[in-house]
């Protein structure tokens, strides 16, 4: 800068010389300046290159310590924690992109993740270096400045583990701390990866891998401890959360959410109190008990409390796991723990004695709100139950619970914070369609809270399902008609032949937790939509199942911008600033448990990371169109096998492949639209490792050739029935019949 000022002063002095002399001298200095400027440009280019170097990455990621995480919400240039900050607000103070100019957003670059299943990850970004996960727990590092890959790490999860995953072979992201990237793997490991090189630093097995545990959630780092939970409550496991030293990988503490064998000492004192809320006649410790903590966490550094959401019971049916009743602590609860030693501080149970898979594992946010004229430190939570909860985070005191979607399992919550259940909801002597269904009124999909508007933004939904009591339940035993019981699921209910009446729907909700009602809502094309991001620019970003990524006015809900990405979006977007420019990124890729058997409204676009800016000059990829699939026909079968085949199909195939020829098929094909040769030769697929690489398990030892023959009869018989119904409807329409 001093050289430029000296040059300018010299040029100004030329005004005092003769015109001709000045021209020659001026020309010389302009030439000299251009050379200097050229050198400056070259230096800038070198600096840009250096910002993707190992040295640069080591420096900037090494600076992510406790202090950096503490300030994450006020230093919006980076996105360094899963929910942006400890409070999990997903609210960015960046405001280059506003309601006025968001219409100018254009693609900067896209990166192909080369995956076929669901993409649920929230990216982490540190000074232009992005980290995220894909399917089968693969980790990616990308240079935001170029859109190019820096490194990838494949933990090589055995494909046999796919059968343990209730909800797709997905992963929700990484954590970063002092130069290391941390990620859980589907087979239950916790990895520490060098952020600069992509080399493994340490690895810990966090679960008993002989059991049906999985990890799909993103870890968090609180006070130097890497916190990781696990999933698998449907599969008959016992839930816990564990803290590992970020530097060494040594286990610091572990907290179990449900009691174990009462004949043995309890791991920590609060389990003794919890055991009093379980009936030992159900031998819950033999069937797992459930209570897995697979997603939601937050941390309040002022109170020095971490919060975690606990999952559903195992089995779902509470009469089976605890015949004498009881609240079954700490299922479906928000629990406060000491982050240093994992000791229990308090809990609030949202659904005592959970009976419908109403987990508390959905995103939670910490906020300070004025309620009834008094400032309260609260937790905001809208889990699967259909109620929006506000809880005092200092002590777990219940403040309010209000319906954000239609609810029929409970009428309301009493003043003590307990739901008033509808008797029929217990599905003891009657079939029952719980609303919301097991997919929840709101699932794991990230939400955001804007303190300026006071609103929480999330995708609500409904997926109808009718449940019937299972009186012939046996742990880890295939029972025809019991969904996925042949694949290790232990739910304790059967699929009912009664057709559901509730609609399948999706909507984007802006909820006011003080007024206890929506400020605005926007209908979506169906359920299973992505997460939201809120910004200081008065914007809400949201990706939907129809493949559109949109921006809305945070106050009014007016749609201001959208771009089509060719595949359903289920993950949450992020925003950050690199070299003075704001970017918005979303990882797009249809999947998750609903996406296994249901399609999205998009085409067959790749699973990609898309990054946008106001002056982006990237080229959008092309999206192949879906091919129309013909109904299965021509496979020979014995009609007498259809009835038995129905129960076998429900017990082994239903939650992956859906209803043949009725559901459209998602990431896993609907067999009612398969090629006849595939269905006719199912024995060679189902009873071998032929498609193990795609996650299709080998059912030999669980199913016989005769069983497969009966399942084949159900598939073709159902396709024939659908074809006949369509033909009858067309004939009726053409003849003008009633």
Q: Which residues of the chain have pLDDT under 70?
A: 1-49, 736-738
Structure tokens at 601: 């409204």
With a CB cutoff of 8 Å and minimum separation 6, the contacts of 725 are: none
pLDDT at 49 (0 to 100): 52
Phi-psi region of 33 (alpha: psi -120 to 50; beta: other; left: phi over 0): alpha
DSSP string, 669-689: --GGGS-HHHHHTTHHHHTSS
Q: What is the pLDDT of residues 464-490, one digit of tens each?
A: 999 999 999 998 899 999 999 999 999
**Contact in structure between 314 and 287 (CB atoms under 8 Å):** yes
Query: Rounded to whole angstroms, how far apart are CA atoms 387 and 356?
Result: 14
Structure tokens at 51: 């910002």
Q: Phi and psi for 690 in degrees, rounded to 5?
A: -55, -35
Peptide bond into 436 cis (omega under 30): yes
For 50-56, which contacts have Cβ atoms below 8 Å and span 24 or more sequence positions?
Answer: 51/127, 51/128, 51/145, 52/128, 52/129, 52/143, 52/145, 52/146, 52/148, 52/150, 54/196, 54/197, 55/196, 56/127
pLDDT at 353 (0 to 100): 98
- For residue 494, give the nearest of 471, 464, 523, 524 by alpha carbon: 471
Question: Is 245 among the catalytic positions?
Answer: no
Q: What is the pLDDT of residues 186-220, one digit of tens each?
A: 999 999 999 999 999 999 999 999 999 999 999 99
Q: Is 225 exposed, middle or buried (0-12, 13-18, 19+ CB in 10 A)?
A: buried
CATH code reported for the domain at 639-735:
1.10.760.10
Q: What is the C-alpha end-to-end distance of the chain, expressed in Å?
A: 85
Beta strands 220-222; 532-535: pairing state: unpaired
Peptide bond into 277 cis (omega under 30): no
Q: What is the pLDDT of residues 494-537, one digit of tens each?
A: 988 888 998 999 999 999 999 999 999 999 999 999 999 999 99
- Residue 686 has a CB neighbour count (10 Å cut-off) of 23
For the chain, the domains span: 2-50, 639-735
- For residue 158, give the nearest of 699, 591, 693, 698 by alpha carbon: 693
pLDDT at 5 (0 to 100): 45
Query: Rounded to whole angstroms, how far apart are CA atoms 293 and 240?
Result: 7
Query: Rounded to whole angstroms, how far apart are CA atoms 475 and 321?
Result: 10
Beta strands 548-553; 467-469: pairing state: unpaired
Secondary structure string (H, E, C) spanning 348-387: EECCCCCCCCCCCCCCEEEEEEEECCEEEEEEEECCCCCE
Grouping H, G, I as helix, E, B as strand and the rest as coil, residue 243 is: strand
Query: Rounded to whole angstroms, how far apart are CA atoms 638 and 725?
Result: 20
Structure tokens at 632: 């299965």
Q: Phi and psi for 108 in degrees, rounded to 5?
A: -90, -50
**Contact in structure between 358 and 351 (CB atoms under 8 Å):** yes
With a CB cutoff of 8 Å and minimum separation 6, the contacts of 541 are: 532, 533, 535, 549, 550, 551, 552, 573, 575, 584, 586
**Contact in structure between 515 and 73 (CB atoms under 8 Å):** no
Instruction: Identify the residue whose tokens are 């990838």.
Output: 152
Q: What is the pLDDT of residues 3-44, one digit of tens each?
A: 444 433 443 343 344 333 333 333 333 333 344 444 444 444
Q: Phi and psi for 314 in degrees, rounded to 5?
A: -130, 115
pLDDT at 738 (0 to 100): 57
Q: What is the pLDDT of residues 92-130, one digit of tens each?
A: 999 999 999 999 999 999 999 999 999 999 999 999 999
Query: Rounded to whole angstroms, how far apart are CA atoms 455 and 264?
Result: 47
**Contact in structure between 280 and 247 (CB atoms under 8 Å):** no
- For residue 437, give the nearest of 498, 509, 355 by alpha carbon: 355
Q: Is 62 exposed, middle or buried (0-12, 13-18, 19+ CB in 10 A)?
A: middle
CA atoms within 13 A on the CB side of 736: 0
673 alpha carbon, distance to own chain's centre: 29
pLDDT at 629 (0 to 100): 87
Catalytic residue among 168, 270, 357, 707: 357
């Amino acid at each position: 800068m001093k050289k430029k000022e000296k040059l300018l002063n010299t040029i100004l002095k030329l005004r005092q010389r003769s015109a001709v002399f000045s021209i020659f001298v001026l020309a010389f200095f302009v030439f000299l300046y251009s050379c200097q400027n050229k050198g400056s440009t070259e230096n800038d280019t070198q600096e840009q290159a250096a910002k993707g170097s190992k040295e640069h990455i080591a420096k900037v990621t090494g600076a992510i310590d406790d202090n950096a995480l503490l300030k994450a919400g006020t230093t919006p240039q980076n996105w360094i924690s899963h929910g942006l900050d400890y409070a999990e607000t997903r609210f960015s103070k960046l405001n280059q992109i506003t309601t006025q100019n968001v219409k100018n957003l254009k693609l900067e670059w896209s990166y192909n993740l080369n995956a076929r299943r669901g993409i649920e990850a929230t990216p982490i970004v540190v000074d232009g270096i992005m980290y995220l996960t894909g399917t089968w727990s693969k980790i990616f590092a990308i240079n935001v400045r170029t859109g190019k890959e820096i490194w990838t790490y494949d933990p090589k999860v055995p494909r046999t583990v796919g059968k343990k995953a209730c909800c797709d072979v997905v992963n929700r992201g990484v954590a970063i701390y002092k130069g290391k990237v941390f990620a859980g793997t589907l087979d239950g490991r916790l990895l520490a990866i060098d952020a600069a090189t992509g080399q493994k630093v340490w690895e810990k097995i966090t679960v008993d891998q002989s059991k049906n545990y999985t990890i799909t959630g993103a870890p968090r780092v609180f006070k130097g401890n890497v916190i990781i939970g696990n999933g698998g409550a449907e599969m008959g496991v016992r839930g816990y959360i564990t803290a590992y030293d970020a530097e060494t990988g040594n286990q610091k503490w572990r907290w179990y959410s449900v009691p174990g064998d009462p004949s043995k000492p309890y791991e920590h004192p609060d389990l003794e109190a919890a055991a009093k809320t379980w009936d030992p006649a159900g031998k819950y410790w033999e069937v797992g008990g459930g209570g897995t903590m697979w997603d939601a966490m937050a941390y309040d550094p002022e109170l020095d409390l971490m919060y975690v959401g606990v999952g559903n019971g195992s089995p779902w049916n509470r009469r089976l796991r605890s015949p004498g009743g009881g609240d079954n602590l700490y299922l479906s609860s928000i629990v406060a723990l000491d982050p240093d030693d994992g000791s229990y501080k308090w809990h609030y149970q949202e659904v005592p004695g959970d009976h419908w898979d109403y987990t508390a594992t959905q995103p939670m946010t910490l906020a300070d709100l004025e309620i009834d004229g008094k400032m309260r430190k609260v937790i905001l939570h809208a889990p699967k139950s259909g109620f929006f909860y506000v809880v005092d985070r200092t002590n777990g005191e219940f403040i309010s619970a209000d319906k954000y979607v239609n609810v029929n399992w409970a009428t309301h919550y009493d003043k003590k914070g307990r739901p008033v259940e509808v008797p029929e909801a217990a599905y003891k002597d009657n079939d029952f369609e719980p609303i919301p269904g097991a997919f929840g009124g709101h699932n794991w999909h990230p939400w955001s809270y804007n303190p300026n508007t006071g609103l929480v933004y999330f995708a609500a939904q409904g997926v109808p399902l009718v449940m019937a009591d299972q009186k012939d339940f046996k742990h880890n035993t295939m029972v025809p008609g019991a969904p996925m019981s042949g694949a290790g699921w232990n739910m304790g209910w059967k699929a009912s032949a009664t057709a559901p009446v509730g609609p399948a729907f999706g909507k984007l909700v802006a909820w006011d937790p003080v007024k206890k009602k929506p400020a605005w809502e926007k209908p979506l094309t169906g359920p299973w939509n992505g997460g939201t991001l809120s910004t200081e620019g008065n914007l809400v970003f949201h990706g939907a199942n129809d493949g559109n990524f949109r921006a809305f006015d945070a106050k009014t809900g007016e749609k201001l911008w959208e771009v089509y990405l060719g595949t359903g979006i289920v993950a949450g977007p992020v925003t950050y600033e690199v070299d003075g420019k704001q970017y918005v990124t979303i990882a797009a890729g249809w999947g998750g448990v609903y996406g296994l058997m249901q399609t999205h409204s998009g085409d067959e676009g790749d699973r990609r990371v898309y990054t946008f800016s106001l002056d982006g000059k990237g080229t959008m990829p092309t999206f192949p169109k879906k091919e129309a699939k013909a109904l299965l026909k021509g496979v020979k079968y014995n009609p007498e096998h259809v009835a038995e085949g129905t129960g076998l199909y429900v017990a082994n195939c239903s939650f992956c492949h859906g209803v043949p020829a009725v559901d459209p098929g998602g990431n896993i094909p609907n067999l009612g639209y398969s090629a006849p040769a595939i269905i006719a030769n199912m024995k060679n697929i189902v009873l071998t490792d032929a498609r193990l690489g795609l996650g299709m398990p080998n059912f030999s030892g669980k199913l016989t050739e005769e069983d497969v023959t009966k399942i084949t009869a159900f598939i073709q018989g159902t396709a024939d029935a659908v074809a006949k119904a369509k033909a009858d409807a067309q004939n009726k329409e053409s003849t003008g019949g009633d």
